[in-house]
Amino acid sequence: MDDTALNPAKPKGLMNNVPAIVFVLLLVDSLHFVFARLLLPYLPPTTSSFYYMTVATVEIGLFAAVRGRIKWRIFRENARFFLIIGFLIATATASSFAAVAYIDPGTASLIARMSTVFALGFSIFWLKEQLVRGEQIGAIVAVIGVFIISFQPGEPGSFVWLGTLLVLTANFAYALHAAIVKRYGEEIEFTNFFLFRMMAAILFLLIFATARGEMTWPRGPQVWWILLLAGTVNVTISRTLYYLALRRFKLSVHTILLTLSPVVTILWSFSLFGERPSPQGFLGGFIVILGVILVTTSRNRKRPSIITEIGDSVDPKSATNCTNFTN
């Protein structure tokens, strides 16, 4: 690999301002559960996640179309791959949107840091990697933190455990999607990968909402403004900054930085809804983050895993034709 591949030219101005990138990334990355909570009074979770993802898909599609970069051949040749990851993304999005009906966005964001531990699990069972002691300790610590959050006293009829289960389901589905993409999708041109990934996801979200009898048209301009803002900020802008930051930092640093996003989510949640984690939730969340940092720093000391990346873990410079995806 040549130097230009390892060190791509840095854009000028704001895009080369690393502190600004980090600040804005943390600001927008923290908003996923906040937008889910904002939409909760207007639409069922599966329906709102469908519309929010559709807004982002239209924006990405328009960008690709204007630049003449849509290649339908890529989807035809890799249809099975896109349908599988689309199902997983749809499951993750619908589950995370449903979670805020039972727990506050701050607590949900703290639990969501478990995605690093799930990614670690896939590297063990799929790639047969061995855990170093720090990874073992970090994973155990993070799981203890989730248990502390889940089994806390609440008001009668409280379903904190159900909200926790929904967030963990979302994390598991998203980490599995990340593992599949890392294993089978690294040579697909990024714009088309992102577009077809989104299209497959909204197809399954539409199926989920229709099957549940929840498909309804958003009523009123306010909900449409929230959907437009959510799709633009939480997908289009957030994922662009995510990949930009990924190019600027080592993977371990990038992951640790994103563990700060629950702090911003808690601030958003308290300012907008007057909601915040309970003292036990704070304690459990702190323990989860501590475990994630232990896992991430320990992993950085040994050979990097192709599945270490969490969240939207597709390298924008990735380019393996997925026709070999058969499992």
Count how many Cα atoms sit within 13 Å of the Cα of residue 38 in the half-sphere of its side chain.
22
* Residue 1, in any domain of the structure: no
Determine, yes or no, domain membership for 6: no
Residue count of the chain: 327
How is residue 239 written in tokens? 């994922």
| Residues 6 or more apart whose Cβ sits within 8 Å of residue 113 | 142, 259, 262, 285, 288, 289, 292
d(CA 207, CA 78): 21
- Average pLDDT of the residues of the chain: 78
Give yes or no for residue 195 having a pLDDT over 70. Answer: yes
Helix 105-112 to helix 133-150 angle (10° resolution) is 160
Q: Please, what sign has the CA dihedral across residues 69, 72, 77, 81?
A: positive
Per-residue pLDDT at 251: 53
- Whether residue 1 has pLDDT greater than 70: no
Domain count within the chain: 1
The answer, yes or no, to whether residue 305 has pLDDT greater than 50, is no
Q: Is 24 exposed, middle or buried (0-12, 13-18, 19+ CB in 10 A)?
A: middle
pLDDT interval class at 11 (50, 70, 90): very low
The mean pLDDT of 229-237, rounded to a whole number, is 89
Query: 72: domain range?
Result: 13-324
- 24, part of any domain: yes
| Structural domain includes residue 4 | no
The count of other CB atoms within 10 Å of the CB of residue 219 is 10
Residue 100 in this model has a pLDDT that exceeds 50: yes
DSSP-assigned letter for residue 234: I
Most confident of 75-84, 106-115, 134-143, 287-296: 75-84
Residue 138 lies in a domain: yes
As given in the structure block, the two tokens for residue 14 are 């704001």
Q: Is residue 7 part of a domain?
A: no
**Percentage of residues in the chain having pLDDT higher than 90:** 35
Question: CA angle at residue 26 from 89 to 225, to 5 degrees?
Answer: 65
Q: Can you give the pLDDT at residue 214?
A: 92
With respect to residue 280, please indicate whether it lies within any of the assigned structural domains: yes
H or E element that contains 159: none
In a domain, 69, yes or no: yes
Between helix 238-248 and helix 251-258 the angle, nearest 10°, is: 140
**How much is the pTM?**
0.78
